[in-house]
Amino acid sequence: MSFALREGSPFPLGATWDGSGTNFAIFSANASKVELCLFDARGRREIARVALPEYTHEVWHGYLPEVRPGQLYGYRVHGPYEPYNGLRFNPNKLLIDPYALMLQGEIVWHDAVFGYRMGNARADLSFDRRDSAFVMPKCVVVDPAVTWGPDYPPRTPWAETIIYEAHVKGMTALNPEIPDRVRGSFAALADPRAIDHLVTLGVTAVELMPTQAFFDDRYLIEKGLTNYWGYNTIGFFAPATRYISPGGGVHEFKLMVRRLHEAGIEVILDVVYNHTAEGNHLGPTLSFKGIDNASYYMLGDDPRYYYDTTGCGNTVNLGHQRVLQLVMDSLRYWVEACHVDGFRFDLATSLGRDRQGFNANAVFLDAVRQDPVLGRVKLIAEPWDTGHVGYQLGNFPPGWAEWNDQYRDTVRSYWKGDEGELPGLASHLLGTAGLFDRRGRRPWASINFVTAHDGFTLSDTVSYNDKHNAANQEENRDGHSDNRSWNCGEEGPSEDEEVLDLRDRMRRAMMGTLLISQGTPMILMGDEVGRSQGGNNNAYCQDNEMNWLKLDDLSARDAAFLDFSRRLIALRKGRPFFRHPSFLHKAAVGQQPVEVCWLRPDGEEMMPEDWHNPAARTLGLLIRNKPAVLALFNSHYEEVPFTLPHCGGWWRMIVDTATGRVPERPVPIRSAGFAVPPRGLMVLEEHE
């Protein structure tokens, strides 16, 4: 089959249909030739192979007037195969376009996808001549036009944001109200019957675990497992094909966003730009490695090997202008074309690295900060990686929020009764100001969480002392061992009512702490209904009911906890002092200072020596606002008498985690004989 190939344009990159034909453009600084391969509708037969005729500013490009949306394609890139010089060109390998807007099919693992001969004594210095096209997914030419209609992003202020970390499939796979054929897809999450749970719970944003195209790791497939979480990205523009329903297309994602917006819920994407699915020097050749390995990846002192700060074999080279452009173009695409409201960046420290280490003024962080499109969306960093001095909590620049794992560890440790946790608890209740109160940052910069996808669920945090990861087939070696968890007297499932009552009390206390703390709360999908992973704290490869949300047939305890969580969220929304826009130890502009006072059980102010008493587990936080608020914390196993401070009126109870009460009408409190219940948090409000 012949095609009338024209020179086309070096811009924009990717496959761009203009209503008449398609322009193809791909960056490679070190290639000697780039061939465009076209495939039949099923992706099984290569129907044409043409060399892109022009090379402008290190971009290879050509225009085909015959090519329409739906056409499948891929690339073969020629150049030297010199791993010892960082060059790994192999035209026998079909490559994914970094700018592909959609992929068709999944990878079928075969030795042919490796650029070297598997099993050869020379390892990656050998050369494999097998064609990989028969096992590779194909890129799809897409018509990006979509009629959005009146889509109005909620634009929820940071101070009012409540995040729900979720998984597209996990949210919908067990929902009996959604048709079987679409469960687990973007279309399912667009269904009002799925969105209704988020609305009634009261969260304002859903943070979706990776939805960009990713592959299952070969070693997982060989064990009968999958990469359920999705932190193995290969396409920065294409949605993951596994989340597109049968017969559906790329527009399903956009429909999901619009429907969530209609419900007042923002969409935040968990994105992985720090590494790709191509692994280390022994990994497969799927895209970037075969297009221009020396440009796309950070290489070591010996360029045969990668400079790896991610623990995943490679690190994307954001110091290269074209690679930086790729990531920036991707982010803008998801905002402008797909209307997403923000991003959570996996291992974000790697995005701010140069050879000397993390730099808050790194080229990527500076580029994002000044970008007029990205400057209006929410940006969240996971502030660590596996490289040297990789832990950077509190060091990201203004405009960024950060996952605060210190909050998680302290809150868990405090409620299970560990000694010496009061100073840390006090800091985190007020937005971890010691780390975040600088350069004009606000309390919302601290993303507070007690649980996240990585680790125990809330139910498992109070049900297991140890991880139980045997299902991952790694002999229980994977996952963290420092979980700050407590089984409340019995490991795993229990029928002991006292154990179950204590577990309920513990999870109410932690959820209550989360939702009254200054900062941005993040709730893990299913924590509100007691979802358990059976003690697995690293369920990344479990695509089954271990990870899926079940909302029907809840136990009486879990139904009560769901109601408790809803009431807490409503309380936070209705009480501005739980989400103060400024750090409480200083005045907001034009306002009077808010007085914060820490109290001992005798009602007197905490003194320096009190903070250093390791046995102290009871604390009062008095916020002299209008009205005044008093939060009382007790992680003792017994109740503790507490002398209430005098206020202008009288106190009334608005939260009692020991009983699960968040009353619609606050309950008056009598000062005489008042005690804070064991393992309990109480919040009182002044009534004048």
Q: Which residues are catalytic?
A: 346, 382
- Token reading at 545: 């009911």
Which element (helix H / strand E) includes 593? Answer: none
Q: Tell me which residue of 480, 329, 343 sits closest to 25, measured CA to CA.
A: 329
Residue with tokens 């067990």: 174
For residue 92, give both structure tokens: 């026998």
Tally the C-alpha atoms within 13 A of residue 374's C-alpha that lie toward its C-beta. Answer: 22
The vertex-30 CA angle with 27 and 33, nearest 5°, equals: 75
Q: Can you say how many angstroms the Cα of residue 387 is from the centroid of all Cα atoms in its chain?
A: 20
Residue 184 φ/ψ region, left for φ over 0, alpha for ψ in the -120 to 50 degree band, beta for the rest: left
- 239 Cβ contact partners less than 8 Å away, ≥ 6 residues apart: 102, 186, 211, 212, 213, 250, 252, 253
Helix (H, G, I), strand (E, B) or coil at 649: coil
CA distance 677 to 640: 7
Helix (H) or strand (E) holding 406: helix 405-415
With beta carbons less than 8 A apart as the criterion, state whether 81 and 92 touch: no
105-137 in b/e form (b: 16+ CB < 10 A) is ebbebeebbbbbbeeeeeebebebebebbebbb
Q: Distance between CA 430 and CA 433 in Å, rounded?
A: 7
Nearest Cα neighbor of 408 from 464, 459, 463, 446 is 446
Q: Among 614, 646, 611, 609, which residue's Cα sits nearest to residue 630?
A: 646
Whole-angstrom distance, CA of residue 417 vs CA of residue 413: 6
Is residue 184 within 8 Å of 172, Cβ to Cβ? Answer: yes
Count CB neighbours of 631 within 10 A. 21
The C-alpha atoms of residue 63 and residue 71 are separated, in whole angstroms, by 14
Please state at what angle helix 192-201 crosses helix 556-574, rounded to 10 degrees: 70
CB of 64 within 8 A of CB of 71?
Answer: no
List b or e across 39-78, with b for residues whose CB sees 16 or more CB atoms inside 10 angstroms: beeebeebebebebebeeeebbbbbbeebebebbbbbbbe
Structure tokens at 412: 């868990």
